[in-house]
Amino acid sequence: MDAVTTNAEEITHLIANTKLPYELFDNLPVAIYTCDKDGYITSFNNAAVKLWGRTPETNKELWCGSWKIFKPNGQPLPLDTCPMARTLKEGIAIEGEEIIIQRPDGALINVLPYPIPIFDANGTITGAVNTLIDITEQRNSERKQAMLASIITTSEDAIISKTLDGIVTSWNYGAEQLFGYTESEAIGRSITMLIPQDRLMEETEILSKIRKGEKVEHYKTLRMTKNGVEIPVSLAISPMVDTKGNIIGASKIARNVSKQQLAEQTLQQYAENLEILNTVGKVISEKLDVQEILQNVTDATTMLSGAAFGAFFYNKLDEEGESYMLYTLSGAPREAFEKFGMPRNTDVFAHTFNGLGIVRVDDITKDPRYGHNHPHYGMPKGHLPVVSYLAVPVVSKSGAVIGGLFLGHPEPGRFTKEHEILISGVTSQASVALDNAKLYEEIQVLNSKKDEFIGLASHELKTPMTSLNGYLQIIDRSLPADDKNKLFIQKALSQINKLSGLISDLLDVSKIEAGKLPFTYAAFNLPQLIEEVVDLMQYSTKSHRIIICSDISDLLVNADRQRLEQVIINLISNAIKYSPQADHVNISVSRQNDKAVVAVQDFGIGIKKEQHDRIFSRFYRVDDVASHISGLGIGLYISNEIITRHQGKFSVDSETGKGSTFKFEIPLE
Ligand code: ADP
């Protein structure tokens, strides 16, 4: 029996057998009341009022008052079996049988009652005195303790306590599970048994923090199990204090974070893969060169799958329509493949080249499809050591198999379902890119055929045109000055001139495309050239005045005179052509640092900003405004090429409805 109950008994006996002074009784720290033989309360002290939560009326209320009474397990306790009822009935003292009473405010109080009967001189029972010891707090803290103990026992985390010297003092089930030591094996041993050799310093640091009363939280580190396996853990360590507040040790919670780490790594891997997929997708969709696409895809998929080597075989048709195989490699030099030739139609490869689906095998050398074909019956000697094998057919939109991607690793079981999904994601992007590249190649072929035709046609047209020009000039000269047909011959000659201008422009275009536009450089005076061109053009232009707005007369450039003339003529004729409502065109030449700058300004229809770059492309014409004005859309293309070849550049400043200024600059001599 504990100290409290012993005191209670003594006090009860005192009250029962002696007459206590009223004040002392009233102010005793334990609840005491008396009742007569019928159970009516005759007296009680302040502590009883506090415990009951109300003041009963003496001689009117029974000892059981209006309280509900329960057994310690919470079940209702019949009143006649209550300790006090039994004392009154049987005349016996009862010691500390715990009951729970419910106060009027609903609060439950755990009580140890000590009812003692009171007898008169004849030994007849006259009543009883009862001492009630309130043990609610004690019970609550016991409950809390039990709950904590159960949490600690059932926790999946390892919960350990240790002294300030690092000696284990408690070890829960979670710790047993995590570290493999039983409670009895662990208690009394140093916590350093869990710390890998190269991390022993951590314990010194942790303990020094604990001694200072500091906590250590979310400390990610490695700890060692009984079997010597290192596991990643997250530690939370707090100082433990005694009732006086002295630090006496540390409590430590260790959580196994392997799963979390694995999940984080997987997530990170996914994020990285997604990024690679995105980048690969972007890179290959921008490429139009088959070899480059294949290389990018091979590199990316080899990396994504963790393959040791990867190869992409691609069926391509040459100009004669013959099929041949292009291939790219990653992780292995070309020599590693060259001596074996292209993959043959063996059972292993056929599946892929026939587009029958993905083949993923943990060990290809054990696959039933492997090793049946003459002459090698498996991999040729000296072949890369492929064990893990992943092959994905690459199928175009039309359903035709255009190639296969093959990944290998010298160890078995290296490729997973995830790799399969990832790689087939890349190959489907690749097949779109390869389709596009094929289309582009076809367009390129058609384009060069078109260029070839333009070159040939304009060349063929030039000869009859020159003869026609010659004959017309002979007729012109042979006619007397007043002949009325002379005017028609002049008109025909001017049309022939226009036509041969167009033909030579077309010829220039095909020469530019073939990279064969010839240039002859010589030093000459640019302002003088401009004057000559303006004079010549003004002669045949009635609608506009061509005004030279600069007074510079000497500016030497080293350039192809004829080609620059061609550019200036083109700019002035455009300025006239595209300003039908205006009456003049300005041209200026100036020097800016070591450059000569020529600007041609008109006050015509102008060009929208978004068209500024496009008008320099081949055959490009601004359709909405310029459609009624004749032209082929090649003048600026040729001019731009000429200026670029002179290490110069073009610029346009234009506003629709107000006019345009075309400028070019070329280096001075
Ligand atoms: P073309 O004049 O034969 O069509 P160019 O290559 O010389 O070919 O010019 C390309 C296009 O640029 C023209 O079709 C026209 O739409 C536009 N352009 C060129 N010069 C001017 C200008 N001075 N003002 C307005 N538009 C112009």
In three-state secondary structure terms, 142 is helix
Report pLDDT for 269. Answer: 82
Tell me the average confidence (pLDDT) per consecutive run of 10 residues in the chain, 669 residues long.
45 58 78 92 91 90 87 91 93 92 91 92 90 93 90 90 94 95 96 94 91 92 95 94 91 93 88 83 82 88 90 75 74 72 68 87 86 69 82 87 90 92 88 85 86 86 90 93 91 91 90 88 96 93 95 93 95 95 96 95 94 90 76 92 95 94 95
Report pLDDT for 4. Answer: 40
**Ligand 1, residues 508, 615, 632: which to mutate, most atoms within 8 A of Cβ?**
615
Supply 375's token pair.
Answer: 């002459």
Query: Is the distance from the beta carbon of residue 585 to the nearest atom of ligand 1 less than 6 Å?
Result: no
Report pLDDT for 114. Answer: 94
* Residue 607 main-chain phi, psi, to 5 deg: -135, 135
Q: Is 69 exposed, middle or buried (CB count within 10 Å of its CB: 0-12, 13-18, 19+)? A: buried
- Ligand 1 centre to CA of 529 (Å) is 23
CB 392 within 8 A of CB 408: no
Strands 31-36, 323-330: pairing kind: unpaired
Report pLDDT for 555. Answer: 94
Report pLDDT for 375. Answer: 67
Query: Is the distance from the beta carbon of residue 605 to the nearest atom of ligand 1 less than 6 Å?
Result: yes
Report pLDDT for 467. Answer: 92
Query: Is the distance from the beta carbon of residue 659 to the nearest atom of ligand 1 less than 6 Å?
Result: no
- Ligand 1 centre to CA of 637 (Å) is 10
Q: How many angstroms separate the CA atoms of 222 and 196, rounded? A: 7
Query: Is the distance from the beta carbon of residue 233 to the nearest atom of ligand 1 less than 6 Å?
Result: no
Strand locations in 441-532 (E): 522-525
- Residue 233 bridge partners (DSSP): 221, 256
Number of helices (H) and strands (E) in the chain: give both, helices first.
18, 23
Supply 216's token pair.
Answer: 């250590």
Report pLDDT for 626. Answer: 61
Nearest CA to ligand 1 atom 25: 606
CB 382 within 8 A of CB 390: no
HEC sequence for 458-489: HHHHHHHHHHHHHHHHHHHHHCCCCCCCHHHH
